């Protein structure tokens, strides 16, 4: 039986020399890989008391919606600035070169709701840290953060200290 990491294609020197790009789309392209990824994410939350799954575009949607559906929870999207139609709140975060901004609907999380964040990858942790700020600004409580893959060498977990973080695959490098 294959392990989840067997479905990940590693591309050396992309997007620049010295980087090994871990391609999550190769998991999605194989039915067994996709099932294994969703099952492992579900296992991360099966004993947890929570109300809603939050996922950032776009791969957080891909992995978060099946978890929410199979666990009979609601799903809340976090999107890039200007993509949501109703009143939003936003958070800026740092990128390697510059900043970005994400938004969530102002009524998406009710005070006291227990939230699980699902995404494909944690690298530096900046996006997830911004999502946590948005959820907490709305009065939600982040009870767990789940990833398919983690690039441990980029120390993204450091930005999420104090939160329960789990990853299906952990790569020690960057």
Catalytic annotation, pick one of 42, 59, 114, 133: 59
Helix (H) or strand (E) holding 84: none
Alpha helices, H only, 46-150: 59-70, 126-137
Q: Which helix (H) or strand (E) holds 24?
A: none
Characterize the bridge pairing of strands 52-56 and 114-122: parallel
Is 96 one of the catalytic residues?
yes
User: How far is 30 from 55, CA to CA, in rounded Å?
Assistant: 22
Length of the chain: 174
**Catalytic-labelled residue, pool 16, 47, 96, 172:** 96
Cβ atoms 51, 35 nearer than 8 A: no
- What is the C-alpha to C-alpha distance for residues 100 and 28, in angstroms, rounded to an integer? 26
Which residues are within 8 A (CB) of 131 and not within 5 positions of it... i.e. 6 or more apart?
54, 56, 78, 91, 102, 104, 117
**Looking at the annotation, which residues are catalytic?**
59, 96
């Amino acid at each position: 039986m294959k392990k989840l990491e067997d479905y990940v294609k590693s591309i050396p020197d992309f997007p620049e020399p010295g980087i090994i790009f871990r391609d999550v789309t190769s998991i999605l392209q194989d039915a067994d890989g996709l099932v294994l990824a969703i099952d492992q994410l579900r296992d991360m939350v099966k004993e947890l008391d929570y109300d809603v799954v939050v996922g950032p575009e776009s791969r957080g949607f891909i992995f978060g919606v099946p978890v929410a559906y199979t666990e009979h929870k609601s799903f809340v999207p976090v999107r890039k600035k200007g993509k949501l139609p109703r009143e939003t709140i936003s958070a800026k975060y740092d990128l390697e070169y510059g900043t970005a901004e994400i938004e969530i609907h102002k009524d998406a999380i009710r005070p006291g709701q227990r939230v699980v964040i699902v995404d494909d990858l944690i690298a530096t942790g900046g996006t997830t840290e911004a999502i946590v700020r948005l959820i907490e600004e709305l009065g939600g409580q982040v009870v767990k953060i789940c990833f398919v893959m983690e690039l441990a060498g980029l120390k993204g977990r450091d930005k999420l200290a104090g939160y329960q973080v789990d990853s299906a695959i952990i790569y020690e490098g960057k």
